[in-house]
Structure 1
Amino acid sequence: MDARREHLTDIAGIVGIVATADENVTYGVAVRDTATGRTTAHHHGPTPAHPSASVVKLGILVALLLRCQDAGREPTAEERVSAAQMMERSDNDAATALWHVIGGADAMDAAHRRLGLRESAAAPEWGLSRTTATDQLTLLAAVFGEGATPLSERSRAFAVDLMTHVVADQAWGVSAAGSAPALKNGWMPLSATGLWVVNSVGRVTAGGRDVLVAVLSGGHPTKDAGIALVERAARAAVSAVGAR
């Protein structure tokens, strides 16, 4: 068994007990140790793609920053206020306002392609956009400057600052896997089933190293059940790359 397969097994073994306890539950997890470059991913369910819920707000922010860079300008005062409300408090009205600024679903898809996301698809209702844990890891790498990124240092600093100031009652998720979290979470019940989508993406420090983690999940009977799985998956993922 190669090293990467071992890490996949570690994640599946620790998280799968929870996921398979309810046939409705699906999840995807991806992780990168920025010190070693060790990266691995695993998903449980028929497809690795999940509804984004509010983690799409990180993508909206990045698309806005790219748009500003292309125009040779800084975000306006109004855009900066909306970005802060969207990222720190997960304000939906602010997200909708910036969704229109960037140009909606087509513009989001274009930003995704530019950033190297290959499995994500924006939807007219932004919360129903679909993405994968591996694509979210690619987005995180762009934000945190891991490898080539079209984002300027100034744009990245702005995004990271917002991710480190999420209000306390929304700071769950990948934060369970380490200290000094910078994150964005998403959660919503699906109208068709009443079951919850619960997602968390971000960076934590564990074992003295910075680790990027993305966990997407669905099929939960409650938001709290989803949070419990996401946090378990985040801890398992960080352990799988040897950072705990």
Structure 2
Amino acid sequence: MAWLGLAVAAGCGAGRAPVVPAAVEAPVKVARCVLKYRDNRAANVARARLERDLAAYARDRPGRIVYGAQDLVTGVRLGQGEHEHDMITASGAKVDILAALLSRRDSRLGQGERDLASRMIRESDNSAADALWSRVGGGGAMSDFYARIGLKETTPGPSKYWGGTNTSPADRIRLLKVLIRGGAGLSAADRGMVLGLMERVQKDQAWGVSAAARTGDRVALKNGWTPRPFIHNTWAVTSYGRVVGPGRDLLLSVQTDRQPGEGTGIQTIEGIARMIGHRLDGLSPTTTRPCPTNPIA
């Protein structure tokens, strides 16, 4: 009877015992394997279009215009007349003066010389440049410096006229590479000092190759501008520098002469710089392909 009561009790209740479902695993997401390749065909098309557009822009501008560009990240190079070495650099030579002085002094500059260097680069102060040109040893010492760092297309100005230094866009890029990578006895501290001053030029002198920068990019530059009263009352206007940001380390030099005015030269330089900066990424495009399903037989 006890067993029967137990059986009856077990059979009574509100309903069936709940069914517990078996555990179900969430679907596993499998990452799609893809390989990234440089798209050489698209790169060649983009480069041809950019070079065509740059040439057309330069043809429509007054005076003589030459430029050179190299991106240290992608290896992309561009240029038009980049080896023309009779282009006066004017105040662009002030970076050369400081680099040569640091190279000769083994970084040992007094506070007064450091103040002169800051005024010379950041404010483009000509009196400071006169003083440091003399201390570096003038044109003869500058010729030695240029030979040591491989600037074969740069000639110092005669006598005390540092502003008469002639150079090429290609040599301006070589100088920037020395400041970035080292050479000619320039220590990391020396190079950091020069590039740091170039990053902090006065706002009213930050024009030029800075037009190649995207939002957030860092720019280090030096510009030059001078009237040429004996060459039909025209101007020479130049700008060179480094533009660094995600995916790029662009070195760019644009030089002009026979310009009707300083403002015209600036507009021309910024037009070229802007075109290169805005279209640089398109010169190294990539494409993706799925990974081989059976890479090993």
Q: TM-score range by the shorter chain?
A: 0.7 to 0.9
Structure number with greater Rg is: 2
Q: Go from structure 1 to structure 2 and tell me whether the alpha carbon gap of 1:120 and 1:8 turns closer, same or farther (over 3 Å shift).
A: farther
CA separation in 1, counterparts of 2:43 and 2:234? 32
CA separation in 1, counterparts of 2:150 and 2:235? 28
Question: In the alignment, which of 105, 112, 137 is matched to residue 68 of structure 1?
Answer: 105
- The amino acid that maps onto 2:131 is A
CA separation in 1, counterparts of 2:56 and 2:84? 19
Residue 116 in 1 paired to residue 155 in 2?
no
Indicate if the aligned counterparts of 1:28 and 1:215 stay in contact, CA closer than 8 A: yes
Q: In the TM superposition, what is the alpha-carbon distance from 1:142 to its structure 2 partner?
A: 0.6
Task: Provide Cα deviations, 1:99-152, integer angstroms capped at 9, x if missing partner.
Answer: 00111111111111111101111112111110000000000011122x756421
Residue 190 in 1 paired to residue 265 in 2?
no
Task: Provide Cα deviations, 1:23-47, integer angstroms capped at 9, x if missing partner.
Answer: x511221111111233332128x94
Unpaired stretches in structure 2, ≥5 consecutive residues: 1-40, 284-297
Alignment RMSD, CA only?
Answer: 2.7
Task: Provide Cα deviations, 1:136-173, integer angstroms capped at 9, x if missing partner.
Answer: 0000011122x756421010111111011100000000
Paired residue total? 238
Partner of 2:81: helix, strand, or coil? strand
- The amino acid that maps onto 1:88 is R
For residue 201 of structure 2, what is the aligned residue in structure 1? 166
- The amino acid that maps onto 1:209 is R
Residue 59 in 1 paired to residue 96 in 2?
yes
Unpaired stretches in structure 1, ≥5 consecutive residues: none
Indicate if the aligned counterparts of 1:7 and 1:241 stay in contact, CA closer than 8 A: no
Residue 221 in 1 paired to residue 296 in 2?
no
For residue 180 of structure 2, what is the aligned residue in structure 1? 144
Q: Go from structure 1 to structure 2 and tell me whether the alpha carbon gap of 1:236 and 1:154 turns closer, same or farther (over 3 Å shift).
A: same
Aligned runs of 1:1-244 on 2, under 5 Å?
12-21=51-60, 25-43=63-81, 47-69=84-106, 73-124=107-158, 125-145=161-181, 150-178=185-213, 179-192=217-230, 193-205=232-244, 208-238=247-277, 241-242=280-281
Indicate if the aligned counterparts of 1:197 and 1:220 stay in contact, CA closer than 8 A: yes
CA separation in 1, counterparts of 2:42 and 2:184? 28
Indicate if the aligned counterparts of 1:19 and 1:25 stay in contact, CA closer than 8 A: no
Q: Go from structure 1 to structure 2 and tell me whether the alpha carbon gap of 1:151 and 1:7 turns closer, same or farther (over 3 Å shift).
A: farther
Indicate if the aligned counterparts of 1:29 and 1:237 stay in contact, CA closer than 8 A: no
| TM-score, normalised with respect to structure 2 | 0.73
| TM-score, normalised with respect to structure 1 | 0.87
Q: In the TM superposition, what is the alpha-carbon distance from 1:243 to its structure 2 partner?
A: 6.9
Partner of 1:151: helix, strand, or coil? coil
Between the two proteins, what is the percent identity of the paired residues?
34
Q: In the TM superposition, what is the alpha-carbon distance from 1:237 to its structure 2 partner?
A: 3.5
